[in-house]
Amino acid sequence: MRRIIYYVAISSDGFIEDSNKSSDKFIHEPSIVDYYLNDLKNFDTTIMGSSFSRT
């Protein structure tokens, strides 16, 4: 049986976005983004919420 890993990026107050659906307060420093993208390479399947791809 394969493992399921719950991996979520949240702010220090425990939210993914603010009440305006903005992630502007999320830290977008290159080192953190690179760390996240590198972690994703270890997964063969990724499920993301529908609002992730909406602009």
Q: What is the pLDDT of residues 19-47, one digit of tens each?
A: 787 777 666 677 877 888 898 888 888 88
For residue 39, give every residue at least 6 positions away whose Cβ sits within 8 Å of its Cβ, in sequence order, or none: 7
pLDDT digit string, tens, across residues 6-17: 887 777 777 777
Its pTM surpasses 0.75: no
In whole angstroms, give the CA distance from residue 12 to residue 38: 21
pLDDT score recorded for residue 27: 66
Residue 51 has pLDDT above 70, yes or no: no
End-to-end CA distance of the chain: 36
